[in-house]
Structure 1
Amino acid sequence: MLATDINPAWLDPRGGYEVLRHDIVGDPPPQRGTFDLVHARLVLVHVPDRARALATMVAALRPGGWLLVEDADTELQPFACLDEVGPAQRRANRLRRAVRELMAGRGADLRFGRTLPRVLRAAGLVDVAAAGCFPVGGVACDRLETATVRMVRAELLAAGLTDDAEIDAHLAAVDAGELDLTLAPLISAWGRRPG
């Protein structure tokens, strides 16, 4: 098994798989036409040249191989807290709007998830299907929220979208379990390379 990323520091080198630094847009597939399965999770939504990245993934598949792409669609559900009952929930939603603004400024397509079936068919895949998942609450939502806010903190501050006090209060509320956080709906779409 092979895991690739433009920044492999996020991948665990002891995870039982080979780790390779790879730019999905700029580099050719690591092994052309040989993979039974290529999986990308929360990747294409962040890549400005999505069509080229997808073509690289399709080129890595053997004939009959499957591509599974999972990406968020934050336009389908833009809130961090569906039940905005108090200041902590309102703050969480303000920060979610700030993160969305930051993502859009980077070239992310906040509606990309819903396009996946069409995009996979346009890339030449067959037997295309999709499903959606909309998690509400729980450890996974809390962990992803915390990781996301910490990862983009400096950019949020530099853009003037929030301040340290708001971020610290939000992270404390998440850590204390005060919020029923949601994630953007995740659309999973898959298709098979003909042949």
Structure 2
Amino acid sequence: MISETGYLLDNRQREAGRRFDALAELFDPWTLDQLDRLGLAAGWRCWEVGAGGPSVPTALAERVGPTGRVLVTDIDTSWLSDLSDLSGPAAGPVEVRRHDVARDEPPGGEFDLVHARLVLVHLPDRAEALRRMAGAVAPGGLLVVEDADPALQPLACPDERGPAEELANRIRRGFRTLLAGRGVDLAFGRTLPALLRGAGLRDVRAEGFFPLTSPANRELEAATVRQLRGRLVADGLATDAEIERHLDQLRDNGMDVTTAPLITCWGRRPAR
């Protein structure tokens, strides 16, 4: 397969909305619990990088309140159009801006929190994007980066107990092949602590979240497979009949499907 560049899961496709909803259900409670434990509070200035959908920016605006600020950026802001309506007596001002973190200069000002989830792993120049994000953190502020590590646990069904699970794992291997062809580092999540320390951050910590099975896991799998169906078939990684069978099996509550572990890593910019 010829190596390509660019984001494999195009946010302009219809299935992107279903993926965002499933990702929010799976990961938002974990993400927001981590941010709350790190002290996210009223008055904070936040930059949400590569937001994709509106769920995390909405929660940030509610937490920082009217004395705070939330800047939300993405290269495709089509799913973020309603965020400006959040500003009001109970939520902080929200600004949505089209921005490519790997190519564009960081937005002006410094932030108490810079956060990105499932963004850097897809970028060809991850190191430059991380450097720019770290440079936007105010003294004493936090950089929190969350990314997947598919190589840490590569299976869709760790309990491969029958033909349905075997097919799911084969299609997941096809998905990983497509990701690798786009330059995705399938072991990126585990490298975050060293990268944050290399960017000059202190008190670096990391934890992992691994949702083994849930309806949201199945919905995320189905939305991803539907979105990549044409590529999987074109590259000979699965047939139309196999994909249709897999989608049918995902509708069964007894199908235990997981996703790659999410590594959450944070570090603090030293005070001047």
Match of 1:151 among 200, 223, 227: 227
Secondary structure of 2:180's match?
helix
CA distance in 2 between counterparts of 1:18 and 1:173 reads 41
CA distance in 2 between counterparts of 1:64 and 1:99 reads 39
CA distance in 2 between counterparts of 1:185 and 1:93 reads 16
Q: Does 1:101 align with 2:177?
A: yes
Q: Does 1:35 align with 2:105?
A: no
Question: Per-residue displacement from partner, 1:119-169 (whole Å, max 9, x unpaired)?
Answer: 100011111100011111102212221222222222222222112221222
User: What pairs up with 1:21-170 in 2 under 5 angstroms?
Assistant: 21-32=98-109, 34-170=110-246
TM-score (norm 1): 0.93
Structure of higher RCO (CA pairs closer than 8 Å, 6+ residues apart): 1
TM-score (norm 2): 0.68
**8 Å Cα contact 2:215/2:253 also seen in 1:** no
Q: Does 1:4 align with 2:81?
A: no
Secondary structure of 1:8's match?
coil
Paired-residue identity, %: 57
CA distance in 2 between counterparts of 1:107 and 1:39 reads 22
Question: Per-residue displacement from partner, 1:44-67 (whole Å, max 9, x unpaired)?
Answer: 111111100101111221121111
* Unaligned segments of structure 1, at least 5 residues: none
Going from structure 1 to structure 2, the CA distance change for 1:2 and 1:175 (only over 3 Å counts) comes to farther
Secondary structure of 1:77's match?
coil
> What amino acid sits opposite 2:95 in the alignment?
E
> What amino acid sits opposite 1:8 in the alignment?
T
Secondary structure of 1:149's match?
helix
* Unaligned segments of structure 2, at least 5 residues: 1-69, 87-93
